Structure 1
Amino acid sequence: MATSKSAKIQAEMEKVKAKISEAQAKLKELEQKHREAENEEIVDIVRGMSVPLDELPLLLQKLRGTSGQAGQKSGPDGKEATE
């Protein structure tokens, strides 16, 4: 008995779906490994700064505050410019 054209197409579709599922699983695994590697890099950087653990939140707040002000325009005297 010969396999119908639609059955062959259906079989090919199932193969492609299986490959897609495998690729999605691999992507998820790679994203997790990437996140873990980034976290390790962050920990290494922070440890290299020799900042006591109780002072770290304050330091991070200060850094966040200065980066938030980076977009503000200031005049030659350092004060915020008004228009």
Structure 2
Amino acid sequence: MNKKLSKILAEIEKTKEKLSEQQGKLRELERQKTELENTEMVELIRSTKMNTEELSTFLKAFRKKSEMPIFMPKQEEQHDEEN
């Protein structure tokens, strides 16, 4: 086989391996991001001191009143506004 062709085929294989590794790393980072977002949401909901029924009623009422998505500032932003 041609030396140049062998070199290119080896480089292709090496690049495919790196790409596969990076895709796995990306999936893991996306999983971690989702987990952290979920944790943040749970903490925010728990900080309202509402039970699940009260929270459900609140969210349904809010959606009926406004088609806008629910937005609440992050806790850091709330602390900044207080100071």
For the pair 1:64 / 2:52, whether they are aligned, the reply is: no
* Aligned equivalents of 2:12, 2:38: Cα separation in 1: 39
Question: Could you report, residue by residue, the CA deviation over 1:37-78 in whole angstroms, capped at 9, with x for unpaired residues?
Answer: 0000000000000011221211111222233169xxxxxxxx
Alignment of 1:1-83 (within 5 A): 4-68=3-67
- Higher-Rg structure is 1
What one-letter code is carried by the residue in structure 1 that aligns with 2:11?
E
Secondary structure, in 3 states, of the residue corresponding to 1:68?
Answer: coil
Secondary structure, in 3 states, of the residue corresponding to 1:34?
Answer: helix
* Aligned equivalents of 2:63, 2:46: Cα separation in 1: 19
* Aligned equivalents of 1:3, 1:69: Cα separation in 2: 63
- Cα drift, residue 3 of structure 1: 6.6
Flag as ranges the 4+ runs of structure 1 deviating above 6 A: none
Structure 2 unaligned segments of length 5 or more: list them.
70-83
Residue-pair matches, total:
69
* Aligned equivalents of 1:52, 1:37: Cα separation in 2: 22
Q: Which structure's residues are more often helix, by fraction?
A: 2
Secondary structure, in 3 states, of the residue corresponding to 2:50?
Answer: coil
What one-letter code is carried by the residue in structure 1 that aligns with 2:26?
L
Structure 1 unaligned segments of length 5 or more: list them.
71-83
When the two structures are superposed, what TM-score results if normalisation uses the length of structure 1?
0.73
